[in-house]
Structures are given as C-alpha cells and as structure tokens.
Structure 1
Amino acid sequence: MPWEEAGGGAVCQDRGVLWRLLLERLTWRRWAYLVMGGALLMPYWFLSWVVVAFLPVPADRPLRDVIALVLALALPAAGTFVTGLLPAVRVLEATAIGELVGGRLGERPVEPSPDWPTRLRTGCWFFLHTHVGVLVSALSLAVPPLALLLAAFPFIDQGDVLSSQGGYHDGLARALAPGAGLALTVALLGVIAATGLLAAGLAPAFLGPSPAERLAEAERRADRLAERNRLARELHDSVGHALSVVTLQAAAAGRVLERDPDFARRALSAIEESARSALADLDHVLGLLREEAHGRAPQATLADLDGLLDKTRLAGVRLDARVGGGLDRVPAVVSREAYRIVQEGLTNALRHAGRVPVRLRIEAGDDRLEVEMSNPLNDAAAGRPGRRTGGGRGLPGIRERVTVLRGRMRAGREGRTWRLYVSLPLRSGG
C-alpha cells in the first residue's frame, strides 16, 4: 500500500507481516535454534570465569575487574570460533539448520569441512550462532516478566515496595507503563522474527558449498547428463531401429502371406527376434535409470552386422552392402559405435524414405574405419509434402558418437540422394 495514499498504512502492513511471521511454526523453530546457540555458549562462559580466576591480574581493583571482564568475553568468543573449525561442526550445524531454520544449503547433503576456507566460514557461523543466540535467550527470559510487571503496574498499591521506590507512583508513569510493556513485547517478537529470517538468509553463505564442492557437483551433474544422453542414444538407436524394422516387416509379411508363406514366416521370425532384442535393450536402459547394479549394457559390434542387415532386408529394403575385411581388427569401442551408426543410418532410411534401395559400404583401413551409406529420397524427403515421422534425433546421435571418437562426418542431400559418410580413427592419435 503506498505511503501517500494510506498514511500509516505502511506501519499496519509491517505489523501484518510481523503477525503472519509470528503465526508460522518455522519462526519459532528458528527461535529454538537461536536459543540452542545460547545454551551452547554457557559452558564456554563458565570455563572462561574459571580460567580468569587463576590468571595473574593487577592488584588494582578497577583495572583487575576490567581485565577480568574482557577476558571473560574474549575467551568464549575465541573458544566458539576454534570449535567451529572442527570439520564435524559443519555437519551438525547444517543438520540443525535443515531441521529448525528451514531451507537447503545445497543440492547435496553437507559434508565435513573439506578445506580451511570452509572451516573459517563455519567457525564464524558457530561464533555468530552462539553469541546472537545468547542475546536472544537473554531477551526472551528478561522481557516477558518485565512486560507483565509494567502491564500490572497501574494496579499495584502505592504502599507496595516497588511502587514506593523512586516516585513511580506518579500518575503519568502509571498510565504509560502498560504501553511500554506492550512495546517491549512487540519489540521482542520483532527481534525473534528478524533474527530468524537473518539466520535463514545468512546460513547458505557460511555453511553452503565451497567453490571446490560446487565444481565437484557440477562435474557430477555433467557426468549424469552425459550418462543420460548415452542411454537416450542407446534407446533411440536400438529400440527405434527395432520398431522401424518390425513395422515394415509386419507390413511386408501381411502383403505376401498368401502367395509366399515361407517369406512371411521368416519375416515373423525376424519380428520376434527384433522385438526380443528391443525388449532386452529397453530392460537394460530401465535398469540403469533405476540404478540397478546387475544391468549389463548391450554390446552389439560389427561382428553382429550380418544379423542387422538380414533383418533390414526382411523388412523389404533392397540393401546393397559391401563389407570389407579386417573388421575383426577394429577396436571394440570403435566397433560398437560403428554398429550403432550403421543401425541408425538404416533406421533413418526406413523411417524417412521407406523401402528404397540402400547402398552401404564399410571398409577398415590401417588407420581409419569408413562407413558410407546412401539412398534415394522419396517425395516427402525431397521437400514436397509427405509423411515424416520421428523426432529428428538420429543425426545428432550419430554426430555425438563421431565426436566422442574424434572422427569425421558428412551427412546431407546430394541432388535426390541422401548420403551419410563417417570416418573413425582406429588409433587414439588418429
């Protein structure tokens, strides 16, 4: 509410905010956290007075009292700070904050202080927690009785000891005393709410992740993202290819079921095998997503290429494959990725061009493995209106595989032909 329109409305609004804060259980949980800090400071104070009692101090009474007071205040401050340097204190404080103050200090559970900058931050926080907590505790103990006394002051008999001291039986003092008690109560409640909010706001800066922990968490997120992308590629290449082949195989078997039952039986057998393989791949990926330790990754390589080509032919695709020798010498990681690249290339041809002739060439040289695939474009793929299915993830998936292996790739239209060319190094320095 604007000040110029409401006048005292801003004060009322502030009171409304304070009232809402006081009605929240979180505010009183934060108050309990601060009071707990005050309780933690008491042993340090008691120990400091014991230490001061045995220290040699000047005989002069005023100077001795001042030195004793300074030491009694400095020793607890130093003691709480040094205690906060212990690695485990960070975990204890973070647990208390999570339970009482609310909010998260990071994406992962807080660990013991890993380095000295983090320990120093924790030491400062433990110092603030205990010393601010003892102030809040003192106010919480002193203000309520004083406020009750001021509220009852007008009704105290003038002959009472309290009212007869210092002229407090004055009529103006009697009239103002209840208001002063109410103001003290409101001030105490405001201090409790404000310090709780301040503790919640400052805790992440003192107890939150360090730069090293943020970097480690970023690396963990990157690893998880890379693993999820790998699983997405595996699922897209294996299950997507299987479904594309099964769809065309089922259509081909249905067309020739009457006149060529042998071909239909082979197609149905291939459908069964493709579906079983896709189910195994899907089960593997789901197992990894559930973080099951017993899942094993599919390990199809170029040694399984013949089965892949046979299934593609049974789908009605005229496939002209020229496979060179020496594929058994291809490193396992390159062989696995090359198999997936061929699989995805055939899937793209089936999905976007249909049962068109496909030419495939695979040759393993001394230093590189070359994969080349081409097929004519149908009307839809050539740019005229027509059907198009799929999410467009095939080529990006191939490009990721080629990039990981530091290979080269070209893909695109050449007239009315789609051509894919991939060259993969067979050695790490290729």
Structure 2
Amino acid sequence: MRVLRPVLSGVTYRRWAYLILGGAISVPYLLFAAVAVPALTPFVTSGGWASALGAGATVVVLGATSLLPAVRVLEVAAVRELLGEVAAGAAVSWWVRVRCSVVFVVHVGVGAVVSAVTLAVPVGFGFAVGAVFSGELVDNGTHSVTVPKGWASAWLPAVFVVAFVLLSYVVWGVGGLLRRLAAALLGMSAAERIAQLERRAEQLAERTRLARELHDSVGHALSVVTVQAGAARRTLRSDPGFTEQALTAIEESARTALGDLDHVLGLLRDGASARNPQPGLAELGALVEATRLAGAAVSADVRGEVGAVPAVVSREVYRIVQECLTNAVRYAGKVPVTVAVSIGPGELCAKVVNPLGPARASRPRGGRGLRGMAERAELLGGKLSAGPAGDRWEVVVTVPWGQRWT
C-alpha cells in the first residue's frame, strides 16, 4: 500500500489542485508572451532572439506582479489550504516579499507545465481510444499518424492510463518539494517564532491571573452568601429585621460577584472590558463592610497614602486581603478579624489575623487559595507567610514598590 500511497492519498490531489491553480494564474502571462514575441520580431535578427527576449520580459512582469500584497495573500492562502499548514511570517520587509515572490514564480512556472501535461494526457487517451477503431491517432489536415485498427493498437489507451498514474507520482513528489520550499521561504523567522511564543506565554499568564481573580472574588461572595443564607434561615421567624439584613448582604455579594464574573468573561472573550477597573486598596472599606454583613467582626487599619500605591500592587494586595477574609469566614466562622495595612516609602505590608475558631482542624493547608495568594505576592516581587501563630491564624504579605513600579 505504501507504493500506491501517492495515487490513493488525498494529499496528492490537493497538491495537484495547487499546481493547476498555478497553471490557471499563468494564462495571462502566457498571453503576454504571445503578444510580446511578435512585437519584438521586427527589432531582432531572428525568431529565436524574439522568443528569448519575450520570455525574459514575461518573467520580469511575473516577478514584478508577485511583489503585490494581494498576490502574497493569495499565495500564502493557497499554500496553507492545499500544501499544508505553513506559518507565514509578516510581510514587514522587502526580503520577506522577495522570498514570497520566489515561491509564487516557481508555483506559476511549475504549475503551467503540470497543467499542460494534465490536460494533454486525457486528450491523448481520447485520441488513443478513437484510433483503435479508426486507425488514425492524429490527423490535423497537414500531418497524420496512423496505427493498425483493432487489438493491434489496443495498448495505446493503456499507455495513457499508465502515464496518468505516473503523473500522480510526479505531482506528489513535486508538490512535496514545493511544500518544503514554501516552508523555508514563507515560514516565520526565528525572531518571529520567539515573539509568537512570548505572546502566547503572556496570554497564558493573563488567563492564569484572571482565574485567580475569579477564584478570589466569587469565592469570597459565595462564602458570604453561604453564611448569611444560613443565618437568615435560622432567624426567618424570630428576627425578621436581621433576616432582611442578611438577605441584603446576599444580594450585594451576589451582584458584586456577577459583575466580576462578567468582567473576566469579557476579557477572555474580547480581550478588553468596558467595565470599571478592578478594585484596589481604595475599595478596602467596602470589602470590610461586606464581610461584616456576613457576621464577622472585622476591623481595618490602613496607614499611609493609598493613592500613591501603583495600581497593580493595590489590586493584587486587595485580592490577597479578600482571600484572607474569605478563608476566615469559611473556616473560622464568625470570629473577629483584624486587617492592618502599612504603606511605607518603598514597601507595603498587609497583615490579616483571626482566631482559629472551632474549625481549626479543617483549616486549609496549601490549598488553591493560599497558593494563589503566594503567587500574587511572588509576581510583585514580594513574599507571603501564612500559618497558625498560637491560637490565631496569621497572614502577612510584604511587597516592595516605588522605583520598581514607576
């Protein structure tokens, strides 16, 4: 079956279509040559010189038109669809355009030859079949070729069938060579590949950051909703006022989480979001108030100029504090939580402390939340420590800022 692969494979016929496309494109240039050669005849000494000069002029015109941007788009599309995936570099220099021009000229030239043979073989087969019955293979009025009638010339159609099969092998091989040529000349340079990999790495890093954003925001909201829903259920009949307050907290937390979710999905879908920037330390008061509605007694002490902190540092530290409050509500229950943020000349320090509470045994040890907080701190060039300190759970994050972020 490996021997018959060029005949049976669809790759061969896609390459054949690519070559026939080159033959179709060659028609205007052949017409130009047909006009140019007679026009040059009066100015040269012989028909041979006229043909040579006409062919040269045709090649010059072919090369000149191959530099057009539209021609490059056509050639790259044809290579990708019919020869296989070839990652083409951007046409930012004349050298890239010249390389594409070489591919186009070879495509048209080889395609013209293969197309002519492709048309000639079926036509010859038709003449051969007729010759078996008429005895005349060719008869154009001036020249004629006769063959014996009947079985004596029955081998002629078989010759053209074999020629067609051999042509498929030729197309398979020539198409493979053209694919290698296209990959070498149209392929991206090493610098372009490095730039593409860097863009891909940036996209993956951004997606990871967005996943952390979504985990922190939605996780905090769901923790508040869970606690408040349980409290509302228990006080539904005995304390309607508290129940209303709990339901209000659920509504606000769910609305905030929905906004964050919409923001992140917008970034993933469109690469941009029309919504307001993500919250930072300036919104720490609203976060503390939302956590208080969940039943936790949260106190916050922010020292220093919050507006002077770079946006990226402010946003990431806010998310770390949010995750700390989420863990406190989820694992320790309704316990007092202390948040202290100190903004110095070149360093920001945030500390979140709460009692371990009755759920000490279920306190997370290296879960996604803690890993996410540590990753945020490391990306900012800072460090984070989290763990029990006596009967308290303590999280401390320090982040340098100042000249690093200007």
Q: TM-score range by the shorter chain?
A: 0.7 to 0.9
Residue identity over aligned pairs, in percent, reads: 41
What one-letter code is carried by the residue in structure 1 that aligns with 2:70?
Answer: A
Alignment-derived partner of residue 151 in structure 1: 129
Structure 1's unaligned 5+ residue stretches are 1-9
What one-letter code is carried by the residue in structure 2 that aligns with 1:139?
Answer: V
Q: Secondary structure at the match of 2:341?
A: strand
Structure 1 Cα separation of the partners of residues 30 and 401 of structure 2 = 70
CA shift for structure 1 position 69: 5.2
Q: Secondary structure at the match of 1:316?
A: coil
Alignment-derived partner of residue 18 in structure 1: 7
* Deviation string, structure 1 residues 96-134 (Cα, Å, up to 9, x no partner): 4456x275444xxx7872113311220111111111111
**Aligned residues: CA RMSD:** 4.1
CA 1:187 to 1:331, structure 2 compared with 1: closer, same or farther past 3 Å?
A: same
Structure 2 Cα separation of the partners of residues 177 and 424 of structure 1 = 86
What one-letter code is carried by the residue in structure 2 that aligns with 1:283?
Answer: D
Task: Give the conservation status (yes or no) of the 8 Å contact 2:137–2:147.
Answer: no
Alignment-derived partner of residue 383 in structure 2: 408
Matched, 1:393 2:368: yes
Structure 2 Cα separation of the partners of residues 130 and 143 of structure 1 = 20
Once the two structures are superposed, the pairs formed by residues 191-202 of structure 1 within 5 Å of their partners are 191-192=170-171, 195-196=174-175, 199=178, 202=181
- Aligned partner (choices 101, 107, 113) of residue 123 of structure 1: 101
Structure 2's unaligned 5+ residue stretches are none
* Deviation string, structure 1 residues 277-332 (Cα, Å, up to 9, x no partner): 2222222223333328662134433333233223323323354x351433444425
Matched, 1:283 2:262: yes
Structure 2 Cα separation of the partners of residues 327 and 78 of structure 1 = 70
Structure 1 Cα separation of the partners of residues 171 and 396 of structure 2 = 70
- Aligned partner (choices 166, 169, 172) of residue 187 of structure 1: 166
* Deviation string, structure 1 residues 151-186 (Cα, Å, up to 9, x no partner): 343433489979x98895599973543332322232
TM-score by length of 2: 0.79
Alignment-derived partner of residue 34 in structure 1: 22
CA 1:377 to 1:187, structure 2 compared with 1: closer, same or farther past 3 Å?
A: same
Once the two structures are superposed, the pairs formed by residues 81-230 of structure 1 within 5 Å of their partners are 81-97=63-79, 101=82, 103-106=84-87, 113-157=91-135, 169=148, 174=153, 176-192=155-171, 195-196=174-175, 199=178, 202-230=181-209
What one-letter code is carried by the residue in structure 2 that aligns with 1:308?
Answer: L
* Deviation string, structure 1 residues 50-82 (Cα, Å, up to 9, x no partner): 57536656xxx7xx83x5555454444444334
Structure 2 Cα separation of the partners of residues 44 and 400 of structure 1 = 66
Q: Secondary structure at the match of 1:310?
A: helix
Task: Give the conservation status (yes or no) of the 8 Å contact 1:376–1:416.
Answer: yes
CA shift for structure 1 position 17: 5.4
Alignment-derived partner of residue 7 in structure 1: none
CA shift for structure 1 position 368: 1.9
Matched, 1:269 2:218: no
CA shift for structure 1 position 241: 0.7
Task: Give the conservation status (yes or no) of the 8 Å contact 1:412–1:418.
Answer: yes
- Aligned partner (choices 247, 256, 268) of residue 226 of structure 2: 247
Q: Secondary structure at the match of 2:91?
A: coil
Alignment-derived partner of residue 276 in structure 2: 297
CA shift for structure 1 position 394: 2.3
Matched, 1:345 2:345: no
- Aligned partner (choices 274, 285, 299) of residue 306 of structure 1: 285
What one-letter code is carried by the residue in structure 1 that aligns with 2:264?
Answer: V
Structure 2 Cα separation of the partners of residues 299 and 279 of structure 1 = 13
Q: Secondary structure at the match of 1:341?
A: helix
CA 1:360 to 1:56, structure 2 compared with 1: closer, same or farther past 3 Å?
A: same
What one-letter code is carried by the residue in structure 1 that aligns with 2:113?
Answer: L
Structure 2 Cα separation of the partners of residues 309 and 241 of structure 1 = 11
* Deviation string, structure 1 residues 3-62 (Cα, Å, up to 9, x no partner): xxxxxxx5xx644751454997x56643541322332541453365357536656xxx7x
Task: Give the conservation status (yes or no) of the 8 Å contact 1:374–1:419.
Answer: yes
Task: Give the conservation status (yes or no) of the 8 Å contact 1:84–1:125.
Answer: no
Q: How many residues align structurally?
A: 402
Task: Give the conservation status (yes or no) of the 8 Å contact 1:143–1:188.
Answer: no
What one-letter code is carried by the residue in structure 2 that aligns with 1:121?
Answer: R
CA shift for structure 1 position 275: 1.6
Structure 1 Cα separation of the partners of residues 96 and 11 of structure 2 = 33
CA 1:194 to 1:387, structure 2 compared with 1: closer, same or farther past 3 Å?
A: same
Structure 2 Cα separation of the partners of residues 314 and 207 of structure 1 = 62
